[in-house]
C-alpha cells in the first residue's frame, strides 16, 4: 500500500488560510490503513483545526468533512460533485495521486495536500511502516530472493554489498538492515547463491519512463495469458 504521514498542523493552517469553506477529504483505502488520512484522521484533524481557530482569534474557517472510498478513481469522485460547489478549497488527506485526481476532476477548485506521501510499503508492527517497493518497472525480486535491493539498499546497487555494511546494518542508518546481507543469507538458505554471483548490468530507467504510463493491450480469448 501507499504510506504517508499527515503534514504538521501549522503547515495545514498556512495552506488553508486564504479559504473560508474547506472540505477535509479523507481516503478510505491506503490512507486509512496507514492512519494518515482515513475517516478517523479526518475527524481528528477537523477538531484540531477548529480548536486552533478558536484559540487563534480571527480566522473564520468553516469545515466540512467527508471520506471517499478511494480518491484515486474517477468513479468514486462523482459523489463529490454536489459538495464541491459549497466549498472554497479541498484539503485532501489522500496520497499524491488522490490530490491530483481531484485536481483533474474539479478544475475550478483549489486542492491542498494534507499528507506527505512517503513510499509504498507495509506495516511491520503497530505504528511502524517499512518501504518495500520503488515501482521501478523492472522487477528483479526473482534474482534477489524476494528482497528488493533497489528499495532496501540505500544505494540501490545490484551486484552485492558495498563495504559499508557492519553488523548486518547499513552505513547510512545503523537501525536499517543491509539489504545485501539479507539477500545473501536468503539465497544461501534457498540454495540459490549462484544468483548472487551473476553480473547484473546497469538499470534501464526507460523500463517505464517518467512520468510513467502503463497501457495494457486487451488479451483476446485463447491468446496468451488466457
Partner 1 sequence: MANSLFEEKLHSDEFLVTTEVGPPKGVDVSEMIHHIDILKDKVDAINMTDHQSSVMRFPSLGGCLLVKERGGEPILQMTCRDRNRLALQADLLLAYSRGIVNVLCLTGDSIDVGDHKEAKPVFDSDSVQLLRMIRTLESGKDIAGNDLKGAPKFCIGASVHPEADFIEPQLVKFDKKVSAGAQFFQTQGIFDLGSLRRFMQYASQFDVKILAGIIVLASARMAQYMNANVPGIIISQAIIDELAGVEKGKGLQKGIEIAARFIKTIKEENLCHGVHIMAVGNESIVPDIIEAAQLVVAPR
Interaction between residue 146 and partner 1 (CB under 8 A): no
Task: Describe the crossing of helices 9-16 and 39-56 by its angle, rounded to 10 degrees.
Answer: 70
Find the part of the chain contacting partner 1 (CB under 8 A) among 61-69, 90-98, 131-139, 189-197: 189-197
* 79 φψ region: left (φ > 0), alpha (ψ -120 to 50), beta (else): alpha
Q: Which long-range contacts (CB under 8 A, 24 or more apart) does 148-151 make?
A: 148/179, 149/179, 149/180, 149/183, 150/203, 151/179
Find the part of the chain contacting partner 1 (CB under 8 A) among 18-26, 71-79, 119-127, 170-178: 170-178
Find the part of the chain contacting partner 1 (CB under 8 A) among 6-14, 64-72, 90-98, 197-205: 197-205
Instruction: Report in angstroms how near the CB of residue 63 gets to partner 1 at its nearest.
Output: 34
Interaction between residue 26 and partner 1 (CB under 8 A): no
Query: Which one among 165, 177, 192, 208 touches partner 1, defined by CB under 8 A?
Result: 165
Interaction between residue 162 and partner 1 (CB under 8 A): yes
Q: Which of these, 13, 12, 41, lies nearest to 27 by C-alpha position? A: 41
Residues near partner 1 (CB under 8 A) are 154-168, 170-173, 180-181, 184, 193, 196-197, 199, 201-203, 205
Amino acid at each position: 500500500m501507499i504510506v504517508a504521514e499527515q503534514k504538521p498542523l501549522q503547515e495545514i493552517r498556512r495552506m488553508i488560510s486564504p479559504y473560508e469553506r474547506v472540505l477535509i477529504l479523507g481516503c478510505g483505502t491506503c490512507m486509512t490503513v496507514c492512519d494518515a488520512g482515513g475517516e478517523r484522521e479526518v475527524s481528528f484533524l477537523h477538531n484540531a483545526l477548529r480548536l486552533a481557530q478558536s484559540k487563534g482569534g480571527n480566522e473564520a474557517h468553516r469545515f466540512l468533512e467527508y471520506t471517499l472510498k478511494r480518491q484515486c478513481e474517477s468513479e468514486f469522485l462523482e459523489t463529490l460533485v454536489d459538495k464541491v460547489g459549497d466549498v472554497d478549497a479541498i484539503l485532501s488527506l489522500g496520497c499524491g495521486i488522490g490530490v491530483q485526481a481531484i485536481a483533474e476532476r474539479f478544475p475550478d477548485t483549489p486542492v491542498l495536500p494534507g499528507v506527505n506521501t512517503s513510499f509504498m510499503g507495509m506495516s511491520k508492527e503497530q505504528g511502524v511502516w517499512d518501504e518495500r517497493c520503488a515501482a521501478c518497472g523492472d522487477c528483479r525480486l526473482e534474482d534477489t530472493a524476494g528482497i528488493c535491493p533497489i528499495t532496501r539498499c540505500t544505494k540501490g546497487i545490484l551486484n552485492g554489498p558495498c563495504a559499508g555494511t557492519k553488523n548486518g546494518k547499513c552505513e547510512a542508518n545503523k537501525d536499517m538492515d543491509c539489504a545485501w546481507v539479507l539477500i545473501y543469507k536468503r539465497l544461501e538458505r534457498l540454495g540459490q547463491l549462484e544468483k548472487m554471483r551473476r553480473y547484473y548490468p546497469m538499470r534501464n530507467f526507460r523500463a517505464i519512463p517518467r512520468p510513467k504510463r502503463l497501457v495494457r493491450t486487451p488479451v483476446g480469448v485463447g491468446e496468451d495469458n488466457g
